[in-house]
Structure 1
Amino acid sequence: MHFSSTLLACTAIVSTASAGFKGFNYGAFFLNQAPKKQADFEYEFNAAKQLPGTNGQFNSARLYSMIQWQTTNTIIEAIPAAVNTKTQLLLGLWASSGQTSFNNEISALKSAISKYGKSFTDLVVGISVGSEDLYRVSPTGIQNKENPGAQPSELVKYIQQTRDAIKGTGLAGKPIGHVDTWTAYVNSSNNAVTSACDFIGVDAYPYYQTTMANSIGNANATFYDAYQQTVKAAKGKPVWVTETGWPVSGPKQNQAVASADNARIYWQDVSCSLMKKGVNLWYYTLQDAQWGNPSPSFGIKPAGDLMQVKPAFNLQC
Structure 2
Amino acid sequence: MRSSGLLALAGSASAVYQGFNYGATKSDGYTVRVQSDFESLFSTAKNLVGTSGFTSARLYTMIQGGTTNTPTSAIPAAIAQDTSLLLTLWASGTTFTDELAALTSAISTYGSELSGRVAGISVGSEDLYRNSPTGIAAGSTIGQEPSVIVDYIKQVRSAISGTALSSVGVGHVDTWTAWVNGSNDAVINACDWIGVDAYPYFQNTESNGIESGASLFNEALDNTKGAVGSKPVWITETGWPVSGKTENLAVANTANAKTYWDQVGCPNFGVVNTWWYTLEDTDNSATPNPSFGIAPGTPLSSTPLFDLSCSNVTSATSSSASSTATSSGAGGVKSASATGVAVVSSGSGLSPSGMGGSGANVTGSAATATATGSSSSNYTATGLSTSLKSTASATATGVTTVSSSAANILAGSFIAAFGGLIMAAAL
Name the structure 1 match of 2:422.
none
Name the structure 1 match of 2:169.
175
Deviation of 1:280 (Å) = 0.7
- Aligned with residue 21 of structure 1, among 8, 17, 22: 17
Which digits, 9 at most, give the CA deviation of each residue in 1:30-84, with x for residues without a partner?
12211100000000000000001112x0000000110011211011100110111
Name the structure 1 match of 2:157.
163
1:47 is aligned with what amino acid?
Answer: T
8 Å contact kept, 1:126–1:176: yes
Summarize the alignment of residues 1-317 of structure 1 with structure 2, pairs less than 5 Å apart: 20-32=16-28, 33-55=30-52, 57-98=53-94, 101-275=95-269, 278-291=271-284, 292-307=286-301, 310-317=303-310
Which digits, 9 at most, give the CA deviation of each residue in 1:113-162, with x for residues without a partner?
11111112321010000000011111221122222111101100000000
Q: Please give the alpha-carbon distance, in whole angstroms, between the structure 1 residues aligned to 2:47 and 2:295.
A: 12
Deviation of 1:180 (Å) = 0.3
8 Å contact kept, 2:125–2:172: yes
Deviation of 1:303 (Å) = 2.9
Q: Please give the alpha-carbon distance, in whole angstroms, between the structure 1 residues aligned to 2:101 and 2:223.
A: 35
Bigger relative contact order, structure 1 or 2 (CA pairs below 8 A, ≥6 apart):
2
Deviation of 1:93 (Å) = 0.5
Q: Please give the alpha-carbon distance, in whole angstroms, between the structure 2 residues aligned to 1:254 and 1:126.
A: 35
8 Å contact kept, 2:126–2:173: yes
Q: Please give the alpha-carbon distance, in whole angstroms, between the structure 1 residues aligned to 2:225 and 2:263.
A: 19
8 Å contact kept, 1:203–1:241: yes
Q: Please give the alpha-carbon distance, in whole angstroms, between the structure 2 residues aligned to 1:110 and 1:189.
A: 31
SS at match of 1:287: coil
Deviation of 1:18 (Å) = 9.1
Q: Please give the alpha-carbon distance, in whole angstroms, between the structure 2 residues aligned to 1:18 and 1:80.
A: 25
Deviation of 1:307 (Å) = 3.4
Deviates more, 1:192-201 or 1:145-154: 145-154
Q: Please give the alpha-carbon distance, in whole angstroms, between the structure 1 residues aligned to 2:36 and 2:166.
A: 29
Runs of 4+ in 1 over 6 A off after TM superposition: none
Which digits, 9 at most, give the CA deviation of each residue in 1:267-298, with x for residues without a partner?
0000001125x111000000011222200000
Deviates more, 1:289-298 or 1:238-247: 289-298
Deviation of 1:198 (Å) = 0.3
Q: How many residues align?
A: 297
Deviation of 1:191 (Å) = 0.5
Unmatched segments (≥5 aa) in structure 2: 1-11, 311-427
SS at match of 1:117: helix
2:51 is aligned with what amino acid?
Answer: T
8 Å contact kept, 1:194–1:235: no
Which digits, 9 at most, give the CA deviation of each residue in 1:90-131, with x for residues without a partner?
001000113xx1111111111111111111232101000000
Would you tell me which structure has more helix in proportion to its own residues? 1
Aligned-residue CA RMSD in angstroms? 1.5
Which digits, 9 at most, give the CA deviation of each residue in 1:197-249, with x for residues without a partner?
00000000000011211110011110000000001111310000000000000
Q: Please give the alpha-carbon distance, in whole angstroms, between the structure 1 residues aligned to 2:250 and 2:296.
A: 21
Deviation of 1:306 (Å) = 2.0
Q: Please give the alpha-carbon distance, in whole angstroms, between the structure 2 residues aligned to 1:304 and 1:31.
A: 11
Q: Please give the alpha-carbon distance, in whole angstroms, between the structure 1 residues aligned to 2:36 and 2:140.
A: 31
Q: Please give the alpha-carbon distance, in whole angstroms, between the structure 1 residues aligned to 2:34 and 2:297.
A: 18
Deviation of 1:19 (Å) = 5.5
1:97 is aligned with what amino acid?
Answer: G
Q: Please give the alpha-carbon distance, in whole angstroms, between the structure 2 residues aligned to 1:281 and 1:22.
A: 5
8 Å contact kept, 2:21–2:275: yes
1:59 is aligned with what amino acid?
Answer: T
8 Å contact kept, 1:18–1:275: no
Unmatched segments (≥5 aa) in structure 1: 1-15
Q: Please give the alpha-carbon distance, in whole angstroms, between the structure 1 residues aligned to 2:164 and 2:154.
A: 17
Q: Please give the alpha-carbon distance, in whole angstroms, between the structure 2 residues aligned to 1:77 and 1:142.
A: 33
